Amino acid sequence: MNTIDLVVEKIVNGGYGFARYDNKIYMIEHAYPGEFVRINVKNNKKDVYFAEVIEYLEKSPYRNRPICPHFQECGGCQMLDLEYNEQLKIKKDIVKEQIRRIGKLNDELVLDVFESDDIIGYRSKMEFAFSYNKGNIKIGLKKRNSNEIVDIKKCLIAPKEFNSTISETRKIFEALNLKIYNPKTKKGEFKHLVLRKSFSKNELMSIFITKTEYISNYKNFKSLIKEKIKSDSIIHVMNGSDSVVLRGPYKTLKGEGVIKEEFDGFEYQIPPTAFFQNNYNVTKKVLNEFVKIIKEEKISGTLLDLYSGVGLFSIYLAPLFKHVTGVENNVISVKAAHSNANINNIKNTSFVKADVKEFISQYDKKVDLLIVDPPRNGIDKEVLNKILQLKPKNIFYLSCDPTTLSRDLNILNEVYRIEFIRPFDMFPNTFHIENFAFLKLNIDN
């Protein structure tokens, strides 16, 4: 075994400890800034070497004892044993570095992180995978950089109800000898268990995902889960895709088949396969920040909300605008957005089922505020170019990936002044960080 002793300089996007030694760069799992570690290199890509710690010669003073038995092997969170204030500092540094290095922008635009009120049990949705281990059924999360499943007895970032649901599910599956899907052989039935919780309504939803509609021993499965699993809704999703966990047609086995969440009097119904923000109290902070900026900057008129999902931003902000248009490609989310507007008696919104690129290529109306909340890979180049032509007066860009955000801000910076970038800690104990960038059109454009 080739071991090297080195000092970790910082944490970089991806959650790795970063170190340099002998003109080589090392990315080290579970290593924090200032730590002196003995490492073993696992693999490399060109001049970047990926390594694991085999001994901590000097630990960070901010490193506490891990409080989860799965922490070292599970990929669910990366900073669980680090003091929370130190996590926030590291996350701000990660964003600043991406803004500086990829965005070629002044990193002083990055403000302090808005923290999460809860750092344990905060997740409103989690995706657990099924697999076998010597004949026993495993339900859990993937190991870091691996498809191997860690059998989870108790996950600390999950609400406690999720842990008891996993435990009951394991018992049911073993009692009925249900068939687990194997992605290599493409044989078997059950793929994932997705759990959702409403924090404002204290509702639970359990979603069982299978390869096809067929479930052997279906009658017993259905009666046992309805009897043993404490959920307001139980859903069966049929998903033929191995690349996306939560999609496909579904049947409601118990309950209403939606989960409801409320923010400041606005109620949202969220279908099983629709996207929704994953941390209730931080989402509330994002909404409040949006309203604060709109009022301070006296923004009104028309709002265009791209990647609008079930209408979270469109509906919440509708009272502040003459008209709001939401654009979303997912048909289930668009239907939910229409019904959410009705539930809240909002009359000045219209939701369009369309691919954002196709929709915006035909769009030519004046926009006072553009909200973009794209997937992790950011805004498509053609969409960015069209935004530069449309010249909305203000842009709120919400992003879950500081790298693609930095890339896109570098392009938007041609005609926009970036007022600030505010990180929100949507995912405590992980390296992930949500960011809100506020942009104003330059006056001479």
Which domain CATH number covers 164? 2.40.50.1070
Q: Which of 15, 46, 61 is a domain's end point?
A: 61
| Domain assignment present for 87 | no
- pLDDT per residue, tens digit, the chain (445 aa), is 689 999 999 999 888 999 999 889 999 999 999 999 999 999 888 889 999 999 999 999 999 887 898 988 888 899 999 999 999 999 999 999 999 999 999 999 999 999 999 999 999 999 999 998 777 899 999 987 788 899 999 999 999 999 999 999 999 999 999 999 998 899 999 999 999 999 999 999 999 999 999 999 999 999 999 999 999 999 999 999 999 999 999 999 999 999 999 999 999 999 999 999 999 999 999 999 999 999 999 999 999 999 999 999 999 999 999 999 999 999 999 999 999 999 999 999 999 999 999 999 999 999 999 999 999 999 999 999 999 999 999 999 999 999 999 999 999 999 999 999 999 999 999 999 999 999 999 987 6
Domain that holds residue 406: 92-118+264-441
Indicate whether 382 and 290 sit together in one domain: yes
Indicate whether 109 and 250 sit together in one domain: no
The Cα–Cα gap between 83 and 62 comes to 5
The Cα–Cα gap between 295 and 300 comes to 9
Q: Does residue 14 contact residue 27 with C-beta atoms inside 8 Å?
A: yes
Which domain CATH number covers 42? 2.40.50.140
Q: Does residue 357 contact residue 380 with C-beta atoms inside 8 Å?
A: yes
Count of structural domains within the chain = 3
The Cα–Cα gap between 405 and 421 comes to 10
Indicate whether 319 and 425 sit together in one domain: yes
Catalytic residue (one of 68, 77, 155, 400): 400
Which domain CATH number covers 389? 3.40.50.150
| Domain assignment present for 165 | yes
Which distant-in-sequence residues (6+ apart) come within 8 Å of 357 by Cβ?
380, 382, 383
| Domain assignment present for 77 | no
| Domain assignment present for 423 | yes
Q: Which of 61, 82, 105 is a domain's end point?
A: 61
The Cα–Cα gap between 233 and 254 comes to 5
pTM of the model: 0.94
Indicate whether 418 and 361 sit together in one domain: yes
Q: Which of 209, 243, 260 is a domain's end point?
A: 260
Indicate whether 290 and 423 sit together in one domain: yes
Task: Name the packing angle between helices 402-412 and 84-101 (round to 10°).
Answer: 40
Residues recorded for the chain: 445
Indicate whether 417 and 298 sit together in one domain: yes
Instruction: Determine whether 400 is an active site residue.
Output: yes
